[in-house]
Amino acid sequence: MTRFALTVEYDGRPFMGWQRQKHGPSVQQAIEEAAATILGETVQVQAAGRTDAGVHATGMRAHLDTSRTIAPFRLMEALNARLRPAPVAILACDEVADDWHARFSCIARHYEYRIVSRRAPLTFEAGLAWRLAMSLDAAAMQEGAAHLLGRHDFTTFRSAHCQADSPLRTLDRLEVIAAGERISVFASARSFLHHQVRSMVGCLALVGQGKWHPDDMRVALEARDRTALGHNAPPDGLFFTRADYPAD
């Protein structure tokens, strides 16, 4: 048995999310089917994170096991050939130890949330960013973001469907970077609750619009109550950008 670690990029627009679903296409299914055809055996693919419908990845990590002998580069090339025309690309493929696990070995996850602040509808980035028709105060957003750093009970920023045992998470980075009409929010943590990044960004957008004071982020956090959530940002702007592992 050989285990391969994959680095995967995907455009989430046509998918119901990472995870296999009965009612529509998923990234997991696309990769598993391509791998099964290439390797001639049933293949299961595990990812560092299970992104929601419409959420994208530029650097998702995943792994698969096979009883066949194949060079990592050949597997990558074959997967990319088979995955076409689905917007899923394998950027890297490496043989790893049997106990390396894309999800359980992962020690940090990184997301970028892209906002475009302009009147006109998006063309190239329709479905790839959250357009807000008003201008945003990025400095106020950054001030609000700082309140969420560290270890907290993130119940306010957690989906009702979240299956995590605990609402406690340690947020290591929540940074707002503006460049012209574009604002990116970068979030890093060992792990996130379901909808946590989108919920935090939705509230930061209220701060950026002046509807919330930066301190309202702290008030919302301390409420530990989903009804204190201001807004959940749409999946469009969310990108899983990187997963870290001890050996990296």
Taking the C-alpha atoms of residue 148 and residue 77, their distance in angstroms, rounded to an integer, is 42
Q: Do the beta carbons of residue 79 and residue 90 sit within 8 Å?
A: yes
Q: Does 25 bind a second copy (CB under 8 A)?
A: no
Q: Exposure of 126 by Cβ count < 10 A (0-12 exposed, 13-18 middle, 19+ buried)?
A: exposed
Residue closer to a second copy, measured from CB, 104 or 124: 124
Which of 11, 52, 99, 165 is catalytic? The answer is 52
Contacting a second copy (CB under 8 A), which of 87, 167, 230, 234? 87
Helices within the chain (DSSP H only):
27-39, 72-83, 138-146, 196-208, 216-223
Could you tell me how many residues of this chain bind a second copy (CB under 8 A)? 23
Q: How far is the CB of 93 from a second copy (least distance, A)?
A: 10
Q: Write the CB contacts of 4 (distance below 8 Å, at least 6 apart in sequence).
A: 63, 64, 65, 66, 72, 75, 93, 94, 95, 96
Closest to 43 in 3D by CA, of 16, 78, 13, 11? 78
Q: Is 11 in the site for a second copy (CB under 8 A)?
A: yes
Which span sits near a second copy by CB under 8 A: 83-91, 160-168, 209-217, 219-227? 83-91
146 binds a second copy (CB under 8 A): no
**Is 245 a known ligand-binding residue?**
no
Task: Give the binding range for a second copy (CB under 8 A) out of 7-15, 46-54, 61-69, 208-216.
Answer: 7-15
- Judged by CB under 8 A, does residue 116 bind a second copy? no
Dist. CA 148–CA 117, nearest whole Å: 23
Q: Would you call 52 a catalytic residue per the annotation?
A: yes
Gap between the Cα atoms of 11 and 7, Å rounded: 14
Asked whether position 53 contacts a second copy by CB under 8 A, the answer is no
DSSP assignment letter at 195: T
* From 1, 124, 161, 247, residue interacting with a second copy (rule: CB under 8 A): 124
Residue 33 touching a second copy (CB under 8 A): no
- Does 126 help bind a second copy (rule: CB under 8 A)? yes
Q: Considering only residues 60-79, where is the footprint of a second copy by CB under 8 A?
A: 76-77
Residue 5 CA to residue 94 CA, distance in Å, equals: 5
Can you spell out the DSSP letters for 33-66? HHHHHHHTS---EEES--PBTT-EEEEEEEEEEE
Find the part of the chain contacting a second copy (CB under 8 A) among 30-38, 82-90, 134-142, 218-226. Answer: 82-90
Binding residues: 111
Hey, which residues are catalytic here?
52
* Annotated binding residues for substrate: 111
Residues that bind a second copy (CB under 8 A): 9-11, 56, 76-77, 80, 83-84, 87-91, 118-124, 126, 128
